[in-house]
Amino acid sequence: MTAEFQPEIPVHRIRAITLDLDNTLWDINPVIRNAEAALWAWLSENYPLIPDRFDAADMVELRNSVIDQYRHKSHDFRYLRKKVLKRVAIEAGYDDALVEPAFRVFDDARNSVELYADVLPDLEHLYAKFTIIAVTNGNANLQTIGIDHLFHDVVTAVDAGVAKPARPIFDAAVAKAGVAPEEILHVGDHPETDIDGAKKAGMRTAWINRTDEEWPAHLDKPDVVITTITELRLLLEDAS
């Protein structure tokens, strides 16, 4: 497909790009599955009473209970996961000393991602011309992944105290970018979390639709639809 801005969008005024990470630069679903499997294997080897005590259904129920109990921390996945680990440790008869090493096992695997093929070469081109800020609800570590050199800064839900689509996380990204909201193009995969949230914060929006999804009819359309970072680069280069 060919990406095109709506005619009224002043493309030449874009000076910064805010960029979602999970499902925008890599597929997060296999990453989380692998991280969960690595964590469970580690627990089985080191704390075998836990898999004896909990099955998959038990873990789902426990996670839901923790999320319900700590609603004020719903934006902080790291916090919630550690609370789950503490609960399973104690209920299985262990103390909570396992929480930090167990979380490191999960976190190491969570940051072992496979970038989409278009990401590295095209981000390098964009980085040279635009301020690029990562804006994420997740726990991806750009340095661990090895792409921190392609970003000028990062804003996480933990930093902002709220998750996308809440406005404060976008406002924090605007502040880091140092330009007006309408001079920023937010790129993300989620229609509500990314596109609707950024639009309400006054930013321009690019929906990256890698999986040929239908746009939700109840939401205002994004300024542009792309399928790869390559399309984004070409679009911005053509407009410059």
Q: What CA–CA distance (Å, rounded) separates 185 from 205?
A: 5
Q: In what order do the strands lie in the sheet with 184-188?
A: 153-156, 131-136, 16-19, 184-188, 204-208, 224-226
pLDDT score recorded for residue 196: 98
pLDDT digits (tens, 9 = 90+) for 214-236: 999 999 999 999 999 999 999 89
Distance CA(28)–CA(187), nearest Å, equals 16
Tokens (6 digits) for 90: 């104690």
pTM reported for the whole predicted model: 0.91
Q: Is the pLDDT of residue 2 over 60?
A: no
Tens-digit pLDDT profile for residues 40-81: 999 999 999 999 999 989 999 999 999 999 999 999 999 999
Question: CA 50, CA 93: separation in Å to the nearest integer?
Answer: 9
Ordered by where they begin, the domains of the chain are 11-26+114-239 (3.40.50.1000), 29-110 (1.20.120.1600)
Mean pLDDT across the chain: 94
199 close to 170: Cβ distance less than 8 angstroms: no
Euclidean distance between CA atoms 163 and 169, whole angstroms: 7
